[in-house]
DNA sequence: GTGTAATATTTTGTATGCAGAATTCATAGT
DNA sequence: ACTATGAATTCTGCATACAAAATATTACAC
């Protein structure tokens, strides 16, 4: 059995993202390195390494002498991030193998449909949505692009917990997912990419109201 | 006078990128932390922090227990990076203020023209090219996008020194820059973005021959 | 009571120290 | 000669230590 042998900084980063998803940290919160390191049971060194990584992804900010803090949220930044991910996911889709996309299209359609049926917890919805997008991009051979998308999405997770448990806007999202899948079934890559971009733009507008 | 007061890790990162541009490090070279730290006159701690940042940008790779090394180059990765930057710069252009673009279009055209006239050193050419693209995107309000472009371009610098001092392909690049500027003069944003994408795709193909 | 200067405390940024993994080198066996 | 094995060495990953910057607290003048 291959025992887990991974740098602490990565495990720490993962744990911090988990806590961020749980809503443990409010945006703008300063991070106390000694306190957090003690809480996690590690030293400051790998913790700081994780913090630097997260700062590179835009999850944290760092100011000289003042350490790290969770970057504050803003409508402007959210709009910016959505535009970026929309473009990147569209690119990933367009540079995927059309045959493969046609093959997974039914599955994508199915997922999108029982997406609108089941009204679940917020976190379940998010997970479902993430998995759908992951499957959609699973045929893209551009590894750097996929990494980049993951990284940018990490920066967006700060906005996830602002989406409180209303399910109505999700039905719209499910419709949009269906539209993407349908275009793929038709072999219309361009159209699918456009629908995907729309999905992000609309998703953005759905969220905008909830951001201060 | 405001004396420079900036984290060491940033200064180190900058210095390393400078050395990378000078071609001091071959792709695939392992980094010896104590040696490099001694050479730079700093301790391993801020050096490692800089290395982690660079790894996040794709300039370096890190393997558990084996430290950092300059990521090897490949046609595949270069193609991937070009596709990404093309999409991102096009997005930046499309989300710029059209009026502003029209205003700077003459300057862009001028720069592109005396670009083809002066046959200079490789590094001068690169700097000129970089400045042209910077000016082109200077009207984009999406700060996250600009940061991201900078970051991805950092990963591409590993390929820069492969471009030895032949000037012929640069004339093609200058032509393409002119075309972008001309479209902007006409107020044709879509066309300019398309021409910009072409510039990246063509630039990629010009480079492909020189990569092992 | 409020504002300010001096001091104490906290917290970050950097340096150093240490344990263990990875690599190298040497030696023995075939 | 070549491979295998094990010791010696090198180097990373993490922990701890220290110095300087930032923040909080106190004392005091007005």
Of all residues in chain B, the one with the smallest CA distance to A141 is B80
Q: Does B92 touch chain A (CB under 8 A)?
A: no
pLDDT at B203: 86
pLDDT at A163: 73
Query: Which of A5, A11, A56 to mutate to probe the B interface, most B CBs <10 Å?
Result: A56
Dihedral pair phi/psi, residue B62, rounded to 5°: -130, 135
Tokens of A68: 């790290």
- Among A49, A95, A155, beta carbon nearest to B49: A49
Residue A3 lies in a domain: no
* Alpha-carbon gap, residue A9 to A50, rounded angstroms: 5
Query: Residue B108's domain spans which residues?
Result: 75-208
Residue B2 lies in a domain: no
What is the CATH classification number for the domain harbouring A190? Answer: 1.20.120.530
> Do B43 and B27 have their domain in common?
yes
pLDDT at A164: 65
- At B71-99, the pLDDT tens digits run 999 999 999 999 999 999 999 999 999 99
Whole-Å CA distances, B38 to A30, B21, B35, B177? 33, 21, 5, 43
- Among A9, A62, A84, beta carbon nearest to B144: A84
Residue A115 lies in a domain: yes
Give nearest nucleotide to B45 (CA–C1'). Answer: C14
Q: Is the separation of the CB atoms in B27 and B60 below 8 Å? A: no
Task: Out of A70, A87, A107, pick the residue that ends a domain.
Answer: A70
pLDDT 10s per residue in chain A (212 long)? 445 589 999 999 999 999 999 989 999 999 999 999 999 999 999 999 999 999 999 999 999 999 999 999 999 999 999 999 999 999 999 999 999 999 999 999 999 887 766 666 777 788 888 999 999 999 999 999 999 999 999 999 999 887 765 555 677 888 999 999 999 999 999 999 999 999 999 888 888 888 87
Whole-Å CA distances, B33 to A14, A206, B40, B124? 26, 48, 10, 31
For residues B197 and A164, the model is more confident at B197
* Alpha-carbon gap, residue B164 to B79, rounded angstroms: 19
Residue A185's contacts (CB-CB under 8 Å, 6 or more residues apart) are A102, A105, A106, A109
What is the CATH classification number for the domain harbouring B50? Answer: 1.10.10.10
pLDDT at A162: 79
Whether B1 shows a pLDDT value over 50: the answer reads no
pLDDT at B158: 93
> Do A85 and A134 have their domain in common?
yes
- Among A7, A56, A77, beta carbon nearest to B144: A77
> Do A22 and A87 have their domain in common?
no
Beta bridge partners of B153: none
Beta bridge partners of B60: B70
Q: Which of B33, B89, B27 is nearest to B58 (CA)?
A: B27
Please report the sign of the dihedral spanned by the C-alpha atoms of residue A116, residue A117, residue A119, residue A120.
negative
Tokens of A107: 């599955």
Q: Would the Cβ of A43 be found within 7 angstroms of any atom in strand C?
A: no
* Alpha-carbon gap, residue B80 to B211, rounded angstroms: 14
Q: Would the Cβ of B162 be found within 7 angstroms of any atom in strand C?
A: no
Q: Which of B21, B89, B36, B23 is nearest to B67 (CA)?
A: B36
Whether B11 shows a pLDDT value over 80: the answer reads yes
> Would you tell me which residues 146-175 of chain A have a C-beta closer than 8 angstroms to some C-beta of chain B?
147-148, 151-152, 155
Q: Does B53 touch chain A (CB under 8 A)?
A: yes
Q: Does A6 touch chain B (CB under 8 A)?
A: yes
pLDDT category, B167, cuts 50, 70, 90?
low
CA angle B159, B172, B125 (to 5 degrees): 50
> Do A12 and A93 have their domain in common?
no
* Alpha-carbon gap, residue B22 to B24, rounded angstroms: 6
> Do B34 and B83 have their domain in common?
no
pLDDT at B2: 44
Q: Would the Cβ of A46 be found within 7 angstroms of any atom in strand D?
A: yes
Q: Report the Cα B209 to chain-centroid distance in Å.
A: 19
Whether B30 shows a pLDDT value over 90: the answer reads yes
Q: Would the Cβ of B13 be found within 7 angstroms of any atom in strand C?
A: no
Whether B168 shows a pLDDT value over 60: the answer reads no
Task: Out of A26, A41, A70, pick the residue that ends a domain.
Answer: A70
pLDDT at B118: 62
pLDDT at A210: 81
Dihedral pair phi/psi, residue B63, rounded to 5°: -125, 135
Biggest CA pair distance of chain A: 56
Q: Mean pLDDT, to the nearest integer, of B197-209? A: 89
> Do B81 and B44 have their domain in common?
no
Task: Out of A55, A70, A85, pick the residue that ends a domain.
Answer: A70
> Do A101 and A200 have their domain in common?
yes
Of all residues in chain B, the one with the smallest CA distance to A83 is B91
Q: Would the Cβ of B138 be found within 7 angstroms of any atom in strand C?
A: no
* Alpha-carbon gap, residue B34 to B67, rounded angstroms: 11
Please report the sign of the dihedral spanned by the C-alpha atoms of residue B119, residue B120, residue B123, residue B125.
negative
Please state, rounded to an integer, the average pLDDT across all residues of chain B.
Answer: 91
Q: Is the separation of the CB atoms in A184 and A175 below 8 Å? A: no
Of all residues in chain B, the one with the smallest CA distance to A47 is B49
DSSP state of A73: P
> Do A61 and A82 have their domain in common?
no
Cβ contact, residue pair B53, A56, below 8 Å: yes
> Do B26 and B90 have their domain in common?
no
Number of structural domains (chain B) is: 2
Contacts of A152 in chain B (CB under 8 A): 148
> Do B100 and B180 have their domain in common?
yes
Residue B3 lies in a domain: no
Which contacts qualify for B160-167: CB closer than 8 Å, 24 or more apart?
B160/B21, B160/B126, B161/B21, B161/B22, B161/B23, B162/B73, B162/B207, B162/B210, B162/B211, B163/B122, B163/B126, B163/B207, B163/B210, B164/B122, B164/B210, B165/B121, B165/B122, B167/B119, B167/B125
> Do B108 and B82 have their domain in common?
yes
Residue A128: enclosing H or E segment and its boundaries? helix A122-136
> Do B42 and B144 have their domain in common?
no
Residue B43 lies in a domain: yes
């Amino acid at each position: 059995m291959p025992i887990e042998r991974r740098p602490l900084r990565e495990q720490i980063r993962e744990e911090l993202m988990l806590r961020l998803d749980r809503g443990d940290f409010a945006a703008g919160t300063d991070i106390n390195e000694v306190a957090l390191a003690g809480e996690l049971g590690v030293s400051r060194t790998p913790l700081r390494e994780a913090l630097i990584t997260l700062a590179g992804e835009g999850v944290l900010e760092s100011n000289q002498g003042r350490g790290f803090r969770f970057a504050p949220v803003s409508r402007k930044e959210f709009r910016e991030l959505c535009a970026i991910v929309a473009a990147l996911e569209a690119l990933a889709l367009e540079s995927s193998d059309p045959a493969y996309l046609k093959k997974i299209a039914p599955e994508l359609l199915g997922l999108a449909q029982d997406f609108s049926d089941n009204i679940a917890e917020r976190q379940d919805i998010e997970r479902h949505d993430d998995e759908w997008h992951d499957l959609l991009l699973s045929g893209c051979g551009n590894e750097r692009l996929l990494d980049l998308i993951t990284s940018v999405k990490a920066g967006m997770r700060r906005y996830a917990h602002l989406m409180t448990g209303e399910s109505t806007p999700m039905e719209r999202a499910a419709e949009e997912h269906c539209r993407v899948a349908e275009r793929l079934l038709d072999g219309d890559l361009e159209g699918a990419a456009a629908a995907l971009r729309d999905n992000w733009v609309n998703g953005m507008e759905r969220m905008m109201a909830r951001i201060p």
